[in-house]
Structure 1
Amino acid sequence: MTTPTRDQVRRAPKVLLHDHLDGGLRPATVLELAGECGHALPDGITDAAELGRWFAAAADSGSLVRYLETFDHTVGVMQTAAALTRVARECVEDLADDGVVYAEVRYAPEQHVEGGLSLDEVVAAVQTGFDEGSAGRRIVVRQLLTAMRHQARSNEIAELAVAWRDRGVAGFDIAGAEAGHPPTRHLDAFEYLQRENAHFTIHAGEAFGLPSIWQAIQWCGADRLGHGVRIVDDITVDEDGEVRLGRLAAYVRDTRIPLEMCPASNVQTGAAASIAEHPIGLLTRLRFRVTVNTDNRLMSQTSMTEEMWSLVEAFDYTLDDLRWFTINAMKSAFLPFDERLALIDEVIKPGYAALSSR
């Protein structure tokens, strides 16, 4: 099959598993909400385009810690129910316009209570926005509730995720700087989720290596790995091109543990030198359960179309390859099996077939 055009990539149905609500705001929305709540923006910026450029430049530092600092200016304007609902609604609108047909969007409820909202009110406000944004559009969106790994509220957030799982919440996540904050510190939360038959993913193997991935899987029982890019540290390729997988990498591949890979973000944070050198190329060739994601659309100035198009340019991927990524993601979604199958058979496969026939 020939290389797809950019327009074909844009029109292709897409599935997104790793996207942060507080990392995907429209710059104009940040500007307006900051004016309403009195939040001080960096450098006194008053222009939306300039603010967008600031976010991209500040995030493009090669440091995950510096990258995370940009969230002070998004989380800071998301402290009321009205603001959360607006951001959630616009998120769904933007994803739908980009051809996303299923998305799990994550955020940390504990970061949105400074204005007096309860955790339940935060989740309810976001769900209202998702419902409004989805109305009349061909997209299904679910929440992932995130606990911050450097805080001590993971049990509370895990219980919140279970309480809301029949009302729009698909699962649980932990995020934040990996170094010094191993996932095993939140073992009680993960054991509770397992007892409740609940789904969870863990940010692991982004800025920290194999021990983080090993703990996330073998100690905590993660269903998916957020990023997981450093699994390549357990893979060797010799001068003759022969590939050898270590025990952990083989386990991840053999058991089909999904990797929520975010190429543009990984280049920004220094987890990969470039898209062309990103481990997604090798991992795809070895047929790991690779999925393609945006991570933070504002900070990385990206979209699912941009992410997929960058891979087409770097690796000469075809529509068949993009279809494979998309079905991988849909298979890995925290959604009931029959609903996943329906989206694959009724939306994704027909969508790619229509593009291939032109």
Structure 2
Amino acid sequence: MTGRPTLEAIRRAPKVLLHDHLDGGLRPETIVELARAGGYRELPTHDPEELRVWFAEAADSGSLERYLETFRHTVGVMQSAEALRRVAYECAEDLAADGVVYAEVRYAPEQHTQGGLSLDEVVEAVLAGFAEGEREHGIRIGTLVTAMRHQARSMEIAELAVRHRDAGVVGFDIAGAEAGYPPTRHLDAFEYLQRENAHFTIHAGEAFGLPSIWQAIQWCGADRLGHGVRIVDDITDRDTPHPKLGRLAAYVRDKRIPLEMCPTSNVQTGAAKSIAEHPIGLLRRLYFRVTVNTDNRLMSGTSLSEEFAKLVDAFGYDWDDLQWFTVNAMKSAFIGFDERLEFINGVIKPGFAQLKWTGSRTLP
């Protein structure tokens, strides 16, 4: 067996992505073209490379609120069915080129109605773009529709998710600034989803601490936690061979509640000091159900392969570790058990088995 996985080799690995925002992954060239076509005049620059740099610098602030401000421009150019379909198709194309075999991509339909589209028309346009990308690039994509936690449309969006779940919407989410907007504000939506046997995840434990995680799980019944970084606040003696888990941390681990962690984004928003100090290292060592994700590929200037490569550099992970993260993600996906099992046994394990023995050598 060869040495540590290289970025080149990681790109060939069959990967699974659970936390990726559609409006956070646009190509800069596409933003410029859609802005011109749609008459959007607020971009800081119309040079694609300068725009790429602007997004990265604006997002690298250490503040979740400042990070979220960058979405004004991407959402601003995603106000027509044609734009939404194109962005979804290109998302599928870019993820497939990075070796992602299954992805769940989320977006907030309520943010894309300024051009006159209904919520259903927004969903249909995105699903059409993903369907085209699936056919042409061999990737499987499920979508999550997101409600903004500072708004009051969560029940409407939950009903939208249920209405389109047989067409490709696999789940529901709430997102946005956490402080002051606890998940319990949307309890009626979560109770409705549970009655409808629908899946949902909740952004929690990123900018806010343990109370948001506790509410997301124990009050709202979340299937997964978006980020969940602050669960480490319930773990003491972290630097010893035997860290001690508080009752909430132990519950999260014992119940195998998936954590959708996004290392680069977490550093940018101040949820972690650095990749090397990211809680993912401790949580992986303690066998929490940790998954690795991109969050916003444009703002973070990243890909899933690059996220894995950073963890390899920071923690010395090998192919077994990367496969462990990937199987965790596939186990935690919101598609049916049979399809998840088929991906694990028919795609992920064989793909990693080959890479374990070829390592960083170039395949013929």
Q: TM-score range by the shorter chain?
A: over 0.9
Residues 203-235 of structure 1: CA deviation (Å, up to 9, x unaligned): 000000000000000000000000000000000
Is residue 284 of structure 2 the alignment partner of residue 284 of structure 1?
yes
Cα drift, residue 116 of structure 1 = 0.3
Residues 123-173 of structure 1: CA deviation (Å, up to 9, x unaligned): 000001001111132310011000000000000000000010010000000
CA–CA distance in structure 2, aligned partners of residues 200 and 58 of structure 1? 30
Cα drift, residue 37 of structure 1 = 1.3
Q: Which residue of 2 aligns with 1:202?
A: 202
Q: Which residue of 2 aligns with 1:317?
A: 317
Cα drift, residue 241 of structure 1 = 3.7
Alignment of 1:78-93 (within 5 A): 78-93=78-93
Residues 248-293 of structure 1: CA deviation (Å, up to 9, x unaligned): 0000000000000000000000000100000000000000000000
- Contact 2:290–2:325 (CA<8 Å) still a contact in 1? yes
Alignment-mate amino acid for residue 251 of structure 1: Y
Q: Which residue of 1 aligns with 2:10?
A: 9
Determine helix, strand or coil for the equivalent of 1:274: coil
Residues 169-194 of structure 1: CA deviation (Å, up to 9, x unaligned): 00000000000000000000000000
Cα drift, residue 314 of structure 1 = 0.3
Is residue 256 of structure 2 the alignment partner of residue 259 of structure 1?
no
Root-mean-square deviation (CA, aligned residues, Å) is: 0.9
Determine helix, strand or coil for the equivalent of 2:102: strand
What percent identity do the matched residue pairs reach? Answer: 75
Cα drift, residue 242 of structure 1 = 2.8
Alignment of 1:1-358 (within 5 A): 2-43=3-44, 45-237=45-237, 240-358=240-358
Counting matched residue pairs gives 357
Change (3 A) 1:141 1:239: closer
CA–CA distance in structure 2, aligned partners of residues 238 and 129 of structure 1? 45
Give the TM-score normalised by structure 2.
Answer: 0.97
CA–CA distance in structure 2, aligned partners of residues 103 and 265 of structure 1? 18
Alignment-mate amino acid for residue 309 of structure 1: A
Give the TM-score normalised by structure 1.
Answer: 0.98
Residues 298-356 of structure 1: CA deviation (Å, up to 9, x unaligned): 00000001100000000000011000000000000000000000010110001001111
CA–CA distance in structure 2, aligned partners of residues 307 and 129 of structure 1? 26
- Contact 2:133–2:139 (CA<8 Å) still a contact in 1? no
Gaps of 5+ in 2: 359-364
Gaps of 5+ in 1: none
Cα drift, residue 240 of structure 1 = 4.3
Change (3 A) 1:240 1:113: closer
Residues 49-106 of structure 1: CA deviation (Å, up to 9, x unaligned): 0000000000000000000000000000000000000000000000000000000000
